[in-house]
Amino acid sequence: MLSSTSQFLNRLFKIEQKGSSVSTELLAGLTTFVAMAYIIFVNPSILEASGIPREAAIAATLWSAGLCSIAMGLFSNLPIGVAPGMGINAFFAFYVCGTMGLSWQTALGAVFVSGVVFLILTITKLRILIIKAVPDSIKAAVVVGIGMFLAIIGFSSAGIVVKSDATMVTLGHIGDGKVFLSIIGMLLISVLLAYKVKGALIYGILAVTVLGMIFGLTPAPTSVSDVFSFNIPSFADTFMQMDVMGAINYGLVTVIFTFTVVELFDNICTLIGVTKDAGLMDKKGNVEGMEKALLTDSVGTMASAVLGTCTVTSYVESTTGIKEGGRTGLTAVVVGLGFFLSFVFAPLAGLIPAFATAPAIIIVGSMMMRNIKDINFSDITESIPAFLTIAMMPLSYSIGNGFGFGFISYCLIKTFTGHVKEISPVMWLISIMFIVSFYMHGV
């Protein structure tokens, strides 16, 4: 029975053809899910600030992440987990609903319309044209920039890097127990990877979690209710509550345009970075299943608005599973199943602290740095845009912003140095979109 199941999965996801195995894909999916599990608790807390009821926000988060990750795996056969996007959820709650004063229903309407725009761009092949228009140096820089972005997320979660009024960021308290365990986790994972131990990332996460419990730095389960609960949250309060006309009437060029640009390029950059790092992108920049992934993302964005959460997007944490060998959609399906199981096992998922997942995220960030070798630093017209792409992702805490700075500078520097023929109309269009987006963000 087990053998026949493995054979079925192998045929469905072309696992052996892609140089993987069922056990490797299952481990990769578990690793990615653990790295993404923080969204179960963080996203509802952020959405609650917009006025969305917490129970509905939890349900919408789990349903959207579960459905869209499984759809990504089955439809595109890519090892990419999908969930409501970090950063865009803060923009949704604190800027659109906070600063601008829109209701969460209107904000969800804007998310839905942006999903329709994504669908149109995908069907007309414009999103594929955008991906193909990205120069090789920028593609390499995107991978490195995402690695740096992951690193700053991990260092911050571990407490190794903290805020500073004087210098913006500074070294945290290394003597703090949680910080110390995170450093131990990095060392353990590094050694395991050096010995080519499969499951190194998940072993490191579990080891730090257990040590944290032993030393009283994170709560250990004391009862059955600490492991699972049958109080299943419902999204009844947010289902189909998006106010599409309210969003359109407020203004297409303001909130909807900003949502669209931020979501569009955050997702495209993540797909480029993750697939290139996994070796799934060929020399021409093509990725098998990319169009289906973009279609899944488009429909998923509309579905997230219907359910009651901000836009879903591909997660950079998918690289943790890829480093464990995940190469097919089975990895993404396991991630989706993990989110569905979290309806019952949410308390258990909550037992894994941020300082335990941080080491894995930092290590993955370091491993993505190898792509810097593909950037021609002897050519200023290539190296400066690549550098701005890399630097602005962690420093502005946005993958999309880094891409925007890189793309705009690429077009301008090439133009003023007599290389205007290297710039396609699609590249100019992208640059103009970013310029408008940056201007709208500034006002």
Closest to 106 in 3D by CA, of 242, 304, 240: 242
Q: Are residues 84 and 61 in contact, defined by beta-carbon separation less than 8 angstroms? A: yes
Return the pLDDT at 81. 94
The total of other beta-carbon atoms located within 10 Å of residue 431's CB is: 18
> Cα-flanking dihedrals φ and ψ of residue 166, to 5°?
-80, -40
pLDDT in tens, 193-211: 898 787 788 888 889 999 9
Distance of CA 413 to the CA centre of its chain: 30
What residue has token string 């836009």?
311
Angle of CA points 268, 60, 288, to nearest 5°: 30
> Cα-flanking dihedrals φ and ψ of residue 10, to 5°?
-65, -40
What residue type is 409 in one-letter code? S
Return the pLDDT at 358. 87
* Helix (H) or strand (E) segment spanning residue 84: strand 82-84
Exposure b/e, 164-192, CB count within 10 A at least 16 = b: eeeeeeeebeeeebbbbbbbebbebbbeb
Q: Give the contacts of 234 (CB within 8 A, at least 6 positions apart).
A: 55, 56, 59
What residue has token string 């310029």?
435
Handedness of CA 146, 147, 152, 156 (dihedral sign): positive
Per-residue pLDDT of the chain (443 residues; tens, 9 = 90+): 557 888 889 988 989 988 899 999 999 999 999 888 878 877 887 888 889 998 899 899 999 999 999 999 999 999 999 999 876 787 788 777 876 788 999 999 989 998 898 889 888 888 788 777 888 888 888 878 878 987 888 899 899 999 999 999 999 999 999 999 999 999 999 999 898 787 788 888 889 999 999 999 998 888 777 777 777 888 899 999 999 888 888 765 556 766 777 677 777 778 888 888 778 877 777 778 888 888 898 899 999 999 999 889 888 889 889 988 899 999 999 999 999 988 887 676 667 888 988 888 888 788 878 778 889 999 999 999 999 999 998 898 877 788 889 989 999 999 999 999 989 888 898 888 888 877 766 54
Q: Give the contacts of 68 (CB within 8 A, at least 6 positions apart).
A: 82, 83, 296, 297, 300, 303, 304, 312, 336
Q: Are residues 73 and 332 in contact, defined by beta-carbon separation less than 8 angstroms? A: yes
Q: At what angle do helices 354-367 and 22-36 cross, to 10 degrees?
A: 120
